[in-house]
């Protein structure tokens, strides 16, 4: 018997499988999952009878804390996850156990180093100044519509390539060149979600014979591998040409090569994992942020008010000059930080995460897990539960992140799981905030972004919360000398 009428129908033999496949046609799968989780008190247990697979979907903070932290070792990602995401090879996202620990320790050491942090801050500012602002100014002057989602994914792809390879492929430029790697990555992410639902034997066969959605996957994998080979070869030859500079290059690939981890397989897997981690997440977060600002002029004004005293210290002489901000200048902008967190609560770029029960266990919600049970932790739904965030949980209200003393309010990461929680917490959180703040400040100060009214914005069915139809906007310059008064 259904607890909530939106639940997929359970059929004899095949369990919830057909119901879930039929529901793939829904315009917003994540909203549907959210309605079910709200109606089932945050937890839904199902099975796909044929293969005997049991799955459990949860957005219950006490379960999340148990799965990701207190019983972390009992809930690895599992072999099936690694197979579904085979494009990521043995990289950090796919790894469990000792291999994950080794990779995490290495990346953490590198990303926490002051040299890497200042490299990341410098790259973000330079990219905004030299690519993003000129691109948007051109769009504004031409009065043309642009797809802001595409612009941000190009921007964050360039930024991430610079951090990972030390090379900026300049995908964000006037004329918007074709980016085969990015297209391939989008195809991978779309196909991967089907692999979560279609029985493994079926999708493996489809992949082998390159039919149906798996054809796109096979083609995409070849494109991704070609890109990685080219970038690694280029970096190696650059480094060989300037042998003395190898240890000075702050990008991640150079550091790994210097550490002696130079096997092609390791470098390829690391690079592809980091590109996915950096490009899609931050680009997606920025897209939803501007989507929300277009609907909440009040929030946009408050961020501009917060920026005004910083902008006043900058000399902007001519009407068309544009102000650019350093991340250190923005470090005290509490409202901007709160608004970004509020956007990540409602639109987490990674809408759900995948775990498996290594041994039987009982969750804090009382649900019994058996060895091999699949678990989907639904971050998207967690941000939209009134039992977790209060009756106004569907409202975009940055103020909820600000305490009475005007400082940022602490929210535990098992409740705000956009960056994950526990030992596998996102390693790029600081890089991501740096990039987002520098981009938002420069765009809001120099431009007005207007959403094209008739354009429908909704999430794509993908493991990243991409926008299905993009985000059509028009840009208008703000006269910075006037507003500085
Ligand atoms: C708004 C931006 C971002 C969000 C929302 C985000 C979110 C996440 C989430 C949810 C995970 C866990 C994924 C999983 O275990 O399946 C994760 C892991 C990770 N993220 Fe991020 N991320 C962001 C930006 C970045 C950036 C810019 C980088 C690096 C340049 C990065 C590097 C990583 C790495 C290396 C991991 C793996 C950690 C591990 O497994 O131990 N992330 N991130």
Give residue 247's pLDDT: 61
Could you tell me the distance, in angstroms and rounded to a whole number, from the CA of residue 274 to the centre of ligand 1? 8
CA angle 475, 480, 485 (to 5 degrees): 140
Give residue 411's pLDDT: 96
Q: Which atom of ligand 1 is nearest to the CA of 379?
A: 10
Handedness of CA 480, 437, 30, 148 (dihedral sign): positive
Which residues of the chain are modeled with pLDDT < 70?
A: 1-4, 7-27, 48-53, 241-247, 260-261, 315-320, 480-485
- Say which residue the tokens 């991704």 belong to: 224
112 CB-contact burial (10 Å; exposed 0-12 / middle 13-18 / buried 19+): exposed
Q: Cα 33 to the chain's mean position, in Å?
A: 19
Could you tell me the distance, in angstroms and rounded to a whole number, from the CA of residue 297 to the centre of ligand 1? 30
pTM attached to this predicted model: 0.92
Q: Which atom of ligand 1 is nearest to the CA of 423?
A: 41
Q: Cα 255 to the chain's mean position, in Å?
A: 24
Give residue 317's pLDDT: 58
447-451 and 361-362 strand pairing: unpaired
Our answer on whether the CB atom of 107 is closer than 6 Å to any ligand 1 atom is yes
Q: Name residues whose C-beta falls within 8 Å of residue 302's C-beta, 6 or more positions apart in sequence.
A: 335, 339, 398
Q: Which atom of ligand 1 is nearest to the CA of 93?
A: 40
Q: What's the CA gap between 3 and 42, in Å, rounded?
A: 12
Residue 292: CA count within 13 A, CB half-sphere = 22
Residue nearest to atom 2 of ligand 1 (CA): 282
Q: What's the CA gap between 33 and 105, in Å, rounded?
A: 35
Give residue 463's pLDDT: 87
Q: What's the CA gap between 186 and 404, in Å, rounded?
A: 42
């Amino acid at each position: 018997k259904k607890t909530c009428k939106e639940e997929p129908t359970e059929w004899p033999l095949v369990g919830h499988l057909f119901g879930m496949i039929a529901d793939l046609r829904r315009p917003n799968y994540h909203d549907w999952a959210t309605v079910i989780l709200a109606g089932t008190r945050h937890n839904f247990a199902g099975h796909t009878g044929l293969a005997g697979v049991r799955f459990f979907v949860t957005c219950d903070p006490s379960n999340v804390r148990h799965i990701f932290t207190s019983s972390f070792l009992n809930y690895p990602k599992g072999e099936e996850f690694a197979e579904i995401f085979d494009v990521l090879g043995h990289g950090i996202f796919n790894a469990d156990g000792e291999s994950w620990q080794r990779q995490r320790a290495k990346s953490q050491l590198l990303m926490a180093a002051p040299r890497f942090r200042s490299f990341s801050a410098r790259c973000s500012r330079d990219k905004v100044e030299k690519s993003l602002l000129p691109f948007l100014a051109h769009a504004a002057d031409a009065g043309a519509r642009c797809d802001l989602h595409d612009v941000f994914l190009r921007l964050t792809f360039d930024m991430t390539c610079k951090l990972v390879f030390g090379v900026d492929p300049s995908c964000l430029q006037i004329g918007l060149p074709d980016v085969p790697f990015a297209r391939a990555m989008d195809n991978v992410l779309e196909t991967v979600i089907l692999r979560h639902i279609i029985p493994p034997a079926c999708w493996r066969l489809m992949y082998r014979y390159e039919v149906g959605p798996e054809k796109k996957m096979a083609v995409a994998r070849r494109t991704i591998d070609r890109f990685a080979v080219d970038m690694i070869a280029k970096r190696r030859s650059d480094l060989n040409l300037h042998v003395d500079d190898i240890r000075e290059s702050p990008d991640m690939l150079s550091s790994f090569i210097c550490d002696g981890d130079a096997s092609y397989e390791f470098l390829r897997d690391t690079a592809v994992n980091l590109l996915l981690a950096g490009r899609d997440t931050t680009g997606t977060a920025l897209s939803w942020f501007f989507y929300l600002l277009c609907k909440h002029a009040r929030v946009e004004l408050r961020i501009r008010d917060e920026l005004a005293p910083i902008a006043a210290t900058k000399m902007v002489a001519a009407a068309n000059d544009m102000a650019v901000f350093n991340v250190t200048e923005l470090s005290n902008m509490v409202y901007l930080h709160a608004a970004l967190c509020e956007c990540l609560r409602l639109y987490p770029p990674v809408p759900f995460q995948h775990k498996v029960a290594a041994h039987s266990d009982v969750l804090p919600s009382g649900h019994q897990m058996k060895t091999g049970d699949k678990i989907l932790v639904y971050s998207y739904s967690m941000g939209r539960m009134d039992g977790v965030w209060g009756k106004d949980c569907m409202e975009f209200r940055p103020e909820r992140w600000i305490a009475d003393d005007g400082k940022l309010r602490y929210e535990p990461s098992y409740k705000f799981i956009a960056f994950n929680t526990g030992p596998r917490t996102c390693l790029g959180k600081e890089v991501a905030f740096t990039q987002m703040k520098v981009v938002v400040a420069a765009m809001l100060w120099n431009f007005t972004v207007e959403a094209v009214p008739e354009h429908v914005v909704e999430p794509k069915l993908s493991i990243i919360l991409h926008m299905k139809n993009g985000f059509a906007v028009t840009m208008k310059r703000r006269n910075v000398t006037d507003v500085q008064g």
